[in-house]
Chain A
Amino acid sequence: MFARAVSWIGPFPFRQAGLLLGVIAIFWFLGNNTLSTMERAGLTPGFSFLSQRANFEIGESVIAYAAGDSYGRAILAGIANTAKVAALGCLLATLLGVALGVARLSGNPLLSRLVQAYVEILRGTPLLLQLFLWSSLFQHFPAPRNASSLFESIFVSNRGVFVPSFGFDGLPATLWIPGFALVLLGGWTIARKMFFGTTQYGLKMTALLLALFVASILALKLTGFTPTTEIPAKGGFNIRGGLSLSPEFAALLIGLVVNASATIAEIVRSGIQSVRAGQWEAARALGMKPGQIMRLIVFPQALRVIMPLMTSSYLDLTKNSSLAVAIGFPDIVSVANTTANTTGQVLEAIALIMAVYLGINLAVSAFMNVYNRKIALKGALVR
């Protein structure tokens, strides 16, 4: 019993115990000091401030928010903004990164070198600097008054890109995003069927989803919701109406995607190169074409190397989105900073930020681990 305890503690139990006490003392001291400082400043530790009124505005938000709503809602708006940019960022960075990674291995030296230069430049310069560059680029679009427009309904300006929105009375226009995705998916599936003779999701499944979508629109119309169209127009200082993409969001999203795609390209390249040359040779010997070899033989094997590294790229991208605060996109850090400044509850605000990133990252990592297990080699590896 005693021996077991000693082996658990380690070879120098007294020093170890002393160190442990020291660490506890440090935390006790820090905690105590913090509490007394907060008391002197008249601050009550805790999260009760979340229900108080937040008297500041947020520039753009996925969920409804206005000055006078609670701090909790403001924080939620920040979280939603962070989640939006992180989710879209991971998706787009993967598409771009995989394409670049494959291009990097191309037999065409010009293409391969160009991708190499792209990767080196993006990995060798600070992300914050890149964000400033993108932000500056979008800010130099024309001002709203002389914004260029397409059919007087699509506007490109330094206040953002505005497109007409379609929706139903009382329903947010963003509901159309899943519908749009479905249409794209259907188109992709049909195209694959027509050109390659293969389908990924099954024509029937896609047709079913599309039918469901059309049916739900009809149902909405029949139950009394009137369809509305909102066409953006110049008015006052800005362009109003329609769906818009703000320059801050665009700069952040593109900055993150371009930056992460360089890393992902390298991951994909190393993953593909990790597949033994014998696999290529064997596939060629069977008479397969290069595209087929990549898709059916090499890439599935490379995925096992790629996936764990992709997870860390996704986590990096999510955490890097906190740089939004520098270029004016109201993410969780920006909103929590303002909250901390106005309530004085700095520790709580930082704890919230940490919890949010930890939560998002644990979720991403859990999801990726499940996927990773699915594609991992089953059984013992025999060489």
Chain B
Amino acid sequence: MLKHSLWNARTAGVFALALSAASFLSTGLANAGETLDKIKERGLIKVGVGTTPGFFSPDGDGKWQGFFVDFGRALSITVFNTPDKVEFTNSSPQQRLPALQAGEYDILLSGVTQTINRAFKLGFHFGPVVFYDGQGLLVRKDLGVTKGADLDGATIGVQSGTTGELNIADFFRKSGKTFTPITIEETAEFVKALDTGRVDALTQDATDLAGKRTQLKNPDDYVLLPERLSKEPLAPAVRAGDDQWLEIVNWTVYATIQAEEFGISSANVDQFLESKDPAIQRFLGTDPSLGEAIGLDPKFAYTIIKTVGNYGEIFQRHVGKGTPLNFDRGLNALWTNGGLLYSPPFR
């Protein structure tokens, strides 16, 4: 009995200590430059990712692969000059933002939609949009549906916990049409509902639907409608208040876009080292003045392109035509090709 009470008292004491420690820790807000210092100290960048094949998924050896993952590797090159000093951790859509806020990650490359609410209210800043996504509709080909409006009266599967529930309701209300939602939390059940014909269509971010399409029994029987019901610009998210870290993220992404614009790829980057174009010389670091001026390794862009490739290569390798996801470049083409990708000048 006595022992028991002592134990209680001790536990209470330990609890109180732990609580005060926790409250001290949680008060420290991110200051400028703090993130990079922490990363250098631990010798590792911590990146939160999701799990959609093509965008982020571990391969047979447990090594993370995918479109977003490659931007994490590029970031590791910018900071450490090697693609491997980065740790990817899977985080659910609900938990990723609080985890970033709590300092569990240095950056989220998990397909976070950039919104004003997240910037002002929730305390996040966003790097350049790396993927222009939107809510799509996945339907059976033999329904003969070509656009969302054709789905009047249809039953549509919605995965709970997403803004998709609101977008689809808005879409049908706007046009005065009706639909019946089946809101399913379980991902496997969500996909099965379309497979068995319980629902006529699934709605989600198009990137996600393209992944889900590959999980259906006969993927070729289904088509992702080209129409987008919403804008979902997916961008790297960091904690607000660390400008230096944000700029490192910005220019890492820009380097991949600028390289594609220059026509520099992993295959031909070495030939460009001989280029007489002063812009390319500064970009690849054969003229080291730019790198020295900004405090980054003058050859960071060269190493990124040589190791990971330019934006077009990253896109093509993981999600482009011929991959299971089979995405058109669409809005994700260079501005020179009618897309939205645009890098500010490297000078």
Residues of A bordering B, CB below 8 Å: 11-12, 15, 18-19, 22, 25-26, 29, 33, 40-42, 55-60, 67-68, 132, 135-136, 139-140, 143, 158-159, 235-238, 240, 247-248, 325-328, 330, 334, 337-338, 341-342
The answer on a CB contact under 8 Å between B160 and A334 is yes
The answer on a CB contact under 8 Å between B185 and A159 is no
Q: Which among B8, B15, B183, B198 is the interface contact of A338 at CB below 8 angstroms? A: B183
Interface string of B165-176 (1 = CB under 8 A from A): 110111011000
The answer on a CB contact under 8 Å between A19 and B23 is no
Which 6 A-B residue pairs are closest in the complex by CB-CB distance? A139-B196, A42-B121, A22-B12, A328-B184, A236-B153, A67-B169
**Chain B residues near A248 (CB-CB < 8 A):** 182
- With known contacts A18-B12, A55-B170, A326-B184, A237–B153 Cβ distance under 8 A: yes
The answer on a CB contact under 8 Å between B121 and A238 is no
The answer on a CB contact under 8 Å between A19 and B8 is yes
**Chain B residues near A143 (CB-CB < 8 A):** 197
Closest to A29 in B: B19
The answer on a CB contact under 8 Å between B16 and A237 is no
The answer on a CB contact under 8 Å between A158 and B198 is yes
Closest chain A CB from B4 CB (angstroms) = 10
Bound complex: CA of A15 vs CA of B2, how far in Å?
11
Of B186-194, B251-259, B293-301, the stretch lying at the interface with chain A is B186-194
Contacts across chains A and B counted by CB atoms under 8 Å? 123
- With known contacts A59-B181, A326-B186, A25–B169 Cβ distance under 8 A: no
The answer on a CB contact under 8 Å between B181 and A57 is yes
Q: Which of A29, A247, A328 has the most CB of B within 10 A?
A: A328
The answer on a CB contact under 8 Å between A132 and B189 is yes
Q: Which among A22, A42, A57, A237 is the interface contact of B154 at CB below 8 angstroms? A: A237
Q: Which among B13, B122, B173, B184 is the interface contact of A67 at CB below 8 angstroms? A: B173
Q: Which of B169, B197, B198 has the most CB of A within 10 A?
A: B198
Q: Which among A11, A135, A341 is the interface contact of B189 at CB below 8 angstroms? A: A135
**Chain A residues near B19 (CB-CB < 8 A):** 25-26, 29
- Knowing that A15-B6, A41-B121 touch, tell me 18 more A-B residue pairs with CB under 8 angstroms: A22-B13, A22-B16, A26-B15, A42-B120, A58-B183, A68-B173, A132-B189, A135-B189, A136-B196, A139-B198, A158-B196, A158-B198, A248-B182, A325-B160, A326-B189, A327-B186, A328-B189, A341-B162
The answer on a CB contact under 8 Å between B173 and A341 is no
Bound complex: CA of A158 vs CA of B197, how far in Å?
7
**Chain B residues near A58 (CB-CB < 8 A):** 181, 183
Residues of B bordering A, CB below 8 Å: 1, 5-6, 8-9, 12-13, 15-16, 19, 23, 26, 120-123, 143, 151-155, 157, 160-163, 165-166, 168-170, 172-173, 179-186, 189, 192-193, 196-198, 200
The answer on a CB contact under 8 Å between B180 and A247 is no
Instruction: Give me 10 A-to-B residue pairs in the complex whose CB atoms sit less than 8 angstroms apart, sorted by A's number.
Output: A12-B9, A15-B5, A15-B8, A22-B12, A25-B19, A136-B196, A139-B193, A140-B196, A237-B154, A248-B182
**Chain A residues near B198 (CB-CB < 8 A):** 139, 158-159, 247
Closest to B12 in A: A22
Bound complex: CA of A235 vs CA of B16, how far in Å?
65
Q: Which among A11, A18, A59 is the interface contact of B182 at CB below 8 angstroms? A: A59
Closest chain B CB from A12 CB (angstroms) = 5
Closest to A32 in B: B23
Closest chain B CB from A69 CB (angstroms) = 11
**Chain B residues near A57 (CB-CB < 8 A):** 165, 168-169, 172, 179-181
The answer on a CB contact under 8 Å between A334 and B183 is yes
The answer on a CB contact under 8 Å between B155 and A159 is yes
Closest chain B CB from A377 CB (angstroms) = 39
Closest chain A CB from B113 CB (angstroms) = 13
Bound complex: CA of A11 vs CA of B181, how far in Å?
60
Bound complex: CA of A22 vs CA of B8, how far in Å?
11
